């Protein structure tokens, strides 16, 4: 895929994500004061308590995460995320959506579904519209805990605040919203976990190895192996690359590999969690 085609694809995915999330907000969650987890949940909670427009809060609360994403993931990710969040705020401020239902269970399930789909499509496009994952990655590296543990702690605090300020019933329905959003998000991004193990077989393995080190700041393990190809299965000596990245970096890695060798053989596997040198990202200069 050429860079221009990838840009168009990413733009379409992010745009779908923006409108899906906005529909989840205005068509279901806002009128019923239900919240989600993460930065969107904080925005919804503050909006319900203060009547500050959600479009302002989405930008204000996610802004620190955009800056953090610039340092942790990279410039391209930060720019895409800033545009995605700004686009979401603009749609929330200017586009009207009908209030679909006032049934609490339907609001919780389908509000979470459309919100999770929106976040998932944005991630597929190389951006996020909820900065919680960026914060979780940063804190996990700083304190040596898992990303999942960080997200759980953040959401426990958010739903605890919701129970105190909005009532236990709304908090319980909001947990259903969060579960629906999380499951939909996992489905949209094809079940990818926080970490992705990537194996690359390419004739330009040295260029790709240097790219992963220099542009992503990730470590690379190099295996000596043989690749079979052709009708007779001829064997060829080659170096096989293996690295572990976060799912937020997957889009950038694929883009950079395509620039070097579009026909490179790339295998991606879910990694539940990692510990040690592979996840210690080298500072980029």
Share of the chain above pLDDT 90, in %: 45
- C-alpha distances (whole Å) from 148 to each of 79, 107, 193 are 25, 26, 10
Asked whether the predicted pLDDT for residue 25 surpasses 90, the reply is yes
Which of 110, 88, 121 is closest to 179 using CA atoms? 110
pLDDT digits (tens, 9 = 90+) for 141-182: 777 777 667 888 888 899 999 999 999 999 999 999 999 998
| CATH number of 195-279, picked from 3.40.50.1220, 3.40.50.720, 3.40.50.620, 3.30.70.120 | 3.30.70.120
pLDDT digits (tens, 9 = 90+) for 72-106: 888 888 999 999 999 999 999 999 999 899 899 99
User: 37 and 159 in contact (C-beta within 8 Å)?
Assistant: yes
For 236-240, what is the mean pLDDT?
A: 85
pTM score of the predicted model: 0.72
Listed range (60-69, 77-86, 217-226) with the worst mean pLDDT: 217-226
Give pLDDT, residue 192.
45
The C-alpha atoms of residue 244 and residue 246 are separated, in whole angstroms, by 7
Domain boundaries, given as residue ranges, for the chain: 3-188, 195-279
Phi, psi for 250 (deg, rounded to 5): -65, -45
The C-alpha atoms of residue 55 and residue 78 are separated, in whole angstroms, by 19
């Amino acid at each position: 895929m050429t860079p221009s085609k990838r840009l168009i694809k990413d733009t379409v995915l992010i745009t779908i994500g923006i409108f899906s999330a906005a529909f989840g907000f205005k068509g279901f969650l806002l009128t019923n004061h239900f919240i989600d987890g993460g930065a969107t949940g904080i925005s919804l909670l503050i909006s319900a308590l203060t009547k500050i427009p959600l479009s302002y809060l989405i930008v204000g609360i996610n802004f620190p995460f955009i800056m953090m994403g610039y340092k942790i993931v990279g410039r391209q990710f930060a720019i895409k995320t800033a545009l995605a969040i700004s686009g979401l705020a603009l749609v929330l401020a200017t586009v009207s959506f009908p209030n679909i239902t006032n049934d609490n269970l339907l609001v919780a399930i389908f509000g979470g579904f459309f919100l999770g789909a929106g976040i998932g499509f944005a991630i597929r496009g190389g951006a996020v519209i909820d900065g919680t994952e960026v914060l979780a990655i940063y804190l996990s590296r700083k304190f040596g805990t898992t990303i999942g543990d960080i997200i759980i702690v953040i959401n426990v605090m958010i739903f605890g605040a919701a129970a105190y300020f909005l009532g236990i019933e709304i908090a319980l329905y909001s947990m259903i919203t969060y579960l629906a959003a999380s499951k939909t998000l996992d489905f949209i991004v094809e079940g990818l976990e926080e970490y992705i193990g990537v194996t690359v077989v390419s004739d330009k393995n040295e260029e790709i190895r240097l790219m992963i080190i220099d542009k992503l700041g990730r470590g690379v393990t190099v295996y000596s192996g043989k690749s079979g190809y052709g009708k007779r299965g001829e064997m060829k000596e080659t170096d096989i690359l293996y690295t572990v990245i976060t799912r937020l970096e997957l889009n950038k890695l694929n883009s950079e590999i395509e620039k070097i060798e579009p026909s490179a053989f790339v295998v991606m596997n879910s990694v539940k969690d990692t510990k040690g040198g592979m996840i210690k990202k080298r500072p980029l200069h």
